Amino acid sequence: MAKRFGGKHSPDAQSSVQTKHAERIEVDPVGGRVNVLFIPAVVLLFTSLNDGATGLTLGLIGAGTLAGAAWVLREGLRAEAAYHARKVAHRPAVPRKMLSSLLTGMGVTIAAYKSEPGLVAPFLFGAAALGLHVSAFGIDPLKSKGMEGIDAFQQDRVARVVDEAEKMLAGMSDAIKRAHDRPAQARLEAFQVTARKLIRTVEEDPRDLTAARKYLSVYLRGARDATIKFADIYGRTQDPQAHTDYLALLDDLDQNFAARNEKSLLDDRGDLTVEIDVLRERLSREGVRLE
């Protein structure tokens, strides 16, 4: 199936440029250095094939442990990036990066024992690998973070809603790829930018959660389901009416999310004005005049 490609002179150039300026730049926190960690597991596996039953068993266990360590590290780095990107977040429930360091040390210990049976040398190799892993990738966040003056219950509510909203946005991004349509993908990305602005607003002031919850749960879930259906239909039939209807839906959602976010910001400014007026009145009663 042919795919359309965009450029600055393509019909969808304007929407692509607008999305490019509006969208937050997101970099995959995993990177090549984590993928390289799968190589020692592969090398250990193949070099153990001719080492007899004991050597092969140790090689398989060591290779599996090293591969598991690399996979756990990938998930740990993604969890850490999500933690740092949010104003309100729980610490990771499972310290994946530290677990990966431990698994790396164990894997290297097993590999060293296969080549040099004993206790001291394999332990030293494993301890060195563990220390180098921690130095290279650090440890997991150990504390939850939130806004001062907000109780734990409110933080939990916000964290749950934000996690669910981000999962639905990610599901939309995965689904739209099946449509192979750049204008639809660009329009979806623009809507996701607007949705994430509302998410950040709620994170910064969880008092907005009650008003915005319908947007971050019901509306986003509907948008995700509509995106999945559009991708399945358009990917098979290239139906122009389905394309038009989907873009119109995204336009409506974008406008509504933007309006909800603007209302939240206006309410915040109104609250601030009231607080300033009250403060001025109190200071005036104390004989303090503000210019």
> How wide is the angle at C-alpha 224 spanned by C-alphas 226 and 93, nearest 5°?
165
Query: So what's the pLDDT on residue 71?
Result: 94
Whether 62 and 44 have beta carbons less than 8 Å apart is answered as: yes
- For the stretch 81-118, pLDDT in tens is 878 877 667 778 889 999 999 999 999 999 999 888 88
**Helix-helix angle 38-47:52-85, to 10 degrees:** 170
Tokens found for residue 134: 């921690």
The values of phi and psi at residue 89, to 5°, are -160, 145
Q: Can you tell me the distance from the alpha carbon of 237 to that of 179, in angstroms, rounded to the nearest whole number?
A: 10
Please name the residues in contact with 47: beta carbons below 8 A apart, sequence gap of 6 or more. 59
Query: So what's the pLDDT on residue 259?
Result: 86
Separation in Å, CA 46 to CA 60, 62, 89, 110: 9, 12, 42, 15
Query: So what's the pLDDT on residue 199?
Result: 84
**Does the pLDDT at position 211 exceed 90?**
no
Query: So what's the pLDDT on residue 281?
Result: 57
Q: Can you tell me the distance from the alpha carbon of 147 to that of 11, in angstroms, rounded to the nearest whole number?
A: 44
Four-residue CA torsion sign, 50, 51, 54, 57: negative
**Does the pLDDT at position 225 exceed 80?**
yes
- Residue 187 exposed, middle or buried by CB count within 10 Å (0-12, 13-18, 19+): buried
What is the residue extent of each domain of the chain? 31-137, 148-285
DSSP annotation of 177: G
- For the stretch 185-210, pLDDT in tens is 999 999 999 988 888 888 777 766 77
Residue among 77, 71, 133, 127 nearest 101 (CA)? 133
Q: Can you tell me the distance from the alpha carbon of 128 to that of 130, in angstroms, rounded to the nearest whole number?
A: 5
Tokens found for residue 244: 């038009």
Q: What one-letter code names the amino acid at 260?
A: R
**Does the pLDDT at position 282 exceed 50?**
yes
Q: Can you tell me the distance from the alpha carbon of 89 to that of 144, in angstroms, rounded to the nearest whole number?
A: 6
Query: So what's the pLDDT on residue 101?
Result: 95
The pLDDT of 24-40, averaged and rounded, is: 73
- For the stretch 116-128, pLDDT in tens is 888 899 999 999 9
Q: Can you tell me the distance from the alpha carbon of 191 to that of 169, in angstroms, rounded to the nearest whole number?
A: 10
The full DSSP string for 260-271 is HHHHHHHHHHHH
Q: Can you tell me the distance from the alpha carbon of 248 to that of 53, in angstroms, rounded to the nearest whole number?
A: 64
